[in-house]
Every structure is written in structure tokens, then in C-alpha cells.
Amino acid sequence: MSYTEVPGARVPIRMWTDPATVEDVAMQQLRNVSTLPWIKGLAVMPDVHFGKGATVGSVIAMQGAVCPAAVGVDIGCGMSAVKTSLTANDLPGDLSRLRSKIEEAIPVGFSMHDDPVDPRRLHGLPTAGWDDFWGRFDGVAEAVKFRQSRALKQMGSLGGGNHFVEFCLDETNSVWLMLHSGSRNIGKELAEYHIGEARKLSHNQGLVDRDLAVFIADTPEMAAYRHDLFWAQEYARHNREIMMALYKDVVRKEFKKAKPLFEQTISCHHNYVSEERYEGMDLLVTRKGAIRAGGGEYGIIPGSMGTGSYIVRGLGNEASFNSASHGAGRRMSRNQAKKRFSERDLAEQTRGVECRKDRGVVDEIPAAYKPIEQVMDQQRDLVEVVAKLKQVVCVKG
């Protein structure tokens, strides 16, 4: 489908979904964002739903300003995927051992590594700029610096919620490795600190929603946030790189006879800020639950833990600020899912997938998400499908 433009907004709100299907609170968030004097446009993805500060599944283009709550607390959250030389014929009948080995190698939930992972000891992982990256930690907000030890140990760990590691098959029965994570606790700490600082600024006192507090260009507060924001986005990228390297090591050991090879990794943020130019304007583009989908650029759009995911190539649609959805998008809250579904429901909806099927992950049940096929159909003018993947192993935080 092409987009629908919402009438009556101060700037264009272009929606790649039927506005009538969007929850009222999410529509109000979109209208609130459109009132900000710095905003130049708003693109709404088919996986849109209510979120903290701004809707998940929205692309907010602003000139000379950025809203830290719209970026969110999981700065740099995103996806990585790599195709391997393995096929379905190489897999054992029981995949529980593989899941256990992945969980041993990559800490999940609140867990972290006992000692920081040394990237120089990981097979094939590029380490250029590693020391410079950690050197720039000296410039982050003083209130967060005491977390460096924890940040070092969490580098290369999954986290919880909807983060996952998956072992997938595509439609040709080739094996793909895929994972979803972000900047862990250090990103959360930095985000919460700066959201608090933005709320104190005088120009933010009359906003319709205090979560829309912004930093303005050429101010010390903006400079400080930009430093920490881009550092946290880099942390998230390194985190996924280290997890993928650890994951590859597991696969090499578990499939030693098959001597697996790995193609180039596809990686994309879906909670982040990027400096981009549209219609002659230099803009700060916040993708909150959206990926960049410039012409020919590869991206990853996951479904739920029982439905599969898509590798896509962007079509470069500037009406969407070169963006696409970041996933299926929730259609009910975590609490609603826990009240409505049981462990038996979860087991039924994840049949054929080696994964947790206990009460602790019922909130991630496939039925809590929108149908991924519908989401993909609504953004045919944003991306083209390269591969459709179906997980056979899913590790959840």
C-alpha cells in the first residue's frame, strides 16, 4: 500500500497503515509529536503502537532538535543476521543441546559475563577503533560513569524482554543466525539521565506531553546528549558484533564436521538517531521502532518467536524518510498477554521451535503481535523481500 496522510496536523503525518486500526492513545501521541515547532515530518510504520514518549513504529524528522524520550531507553537496539553454508540436512533431530550451548555462550536476562569479553580473542571479529571507543566513555555524563565496569561485562550479552537469538532456515533450507539486542543497561542509564535533564529546560515547560522535551542545537545540553547518544549507539553495534562472534563459535563447534562458513553480516539499528538530508534540509531523524531502508540497503524485520522474519532490501522511499518497520509490532501489552494466554497456548503457538515455553515468556507469545505478513504487505513500497526465515531455535532473555 502507499501511505495515508492524516488530516489536520501541522506537518505531514504519513501512515503506512489504516489510521482507523491504530489505538487512540497512539494516534494522540502522533498528533502530540506533530505539534513540536522543530518537526518537519512524521512517518508511521505498519507496526505502529503506543510507546513511551512517542509511538513505537514512527520516524520523527526534526530540524535543530532531538527528543531523547522519543529515541527511548534502549538506544541503538537493533538486529544482526548472517547466512551460513549449513542447510537443514546438517541439523540433528534434537536441537535442545544447540539452544543450551547458545545460552551458555551468551548471557541472557540480567546476566552478564564474569569478565569483559576481549574482542581480540574472538575469531574474525574486527577490533579497529575498540580502544578509541572505550576512551570516549570518559566523555559521558558524570552521573553514569560509575557504570563502566558493568557496561564492560554486559558487552556481548542479550538482555531480556523481546530480545532474542535465533537459529533459522530460509525457504531454500539454508541456515541463518539472527539476534536482536541493544545498548543494555548503560544505554538505559544514559537515556534516563538525559530525559531528566531535558525536562528541566525552560523551552520544554509548555509542551502538551512532558515526555516530548527536546534538546536544541548549539546548546551544551544538546552537545552532551549527542555525545552520549552516538556512543551508546556504537555500544549497541559492538554488543551485537560480539554476540554474533560468540554465536558463530558455538556453531563452529556444534557443526564441526560440516565446517560452516559465514557470509557478510547484515546489521541495522531500529531505535536510534541519524543525521540525514531531505528537501534541502539537514535533519535529525529519530527512528523509534523503524529501520533505515535507503535504496539497496539491507535490513531485518522480525516477526514473533513462532512466526519467522524477513531479510529485506530498501526501496529508498523518501516519503517515509527512507524507512520501514522494525518488526511485527505488538497488538496487546505484556500484561494483557499474560492475563489472556497460558503456557499451553505458548507451547501450541511455538510448536516446532526449540525455545522456552514457560510462564516467564508468555508475554512474548506470537498472538501478542500483529501478523508479520500483513505488516510486510503494507510496506511493499518501502522494501522488497530478499529472504523469509523461520526459526527452529529461539533463545529468549
What residues are annotated to the active site? 326
- Interatomic CA distance for residues 34 and 360, integer angstroms: 37
Cell numbers 559521558: residue: 140
- Interatomic CA distance for residues 33 and 35, integer angstroms: 5
- Interatomic CA distance for residues 358 and 371, integer angstroms: 23
What does the block give as the cell for 290?
A: 523503524
What is the separation of C-alpha 96 from the centre of its chain, rounded to a whole number of angstroms? 26
Cβ atoms 302, 366 nearer than 8 A: no
- Interatomic CA distance for residues 54 and 134, integer angstroms: 31
Cβ atoms 17, 345 nearer than 8 A: no
- Interatomic CA distance for residues 280 and 316, integer angstroms: 17
Cβ atoms 362, 337 nearer than 8 A: yes
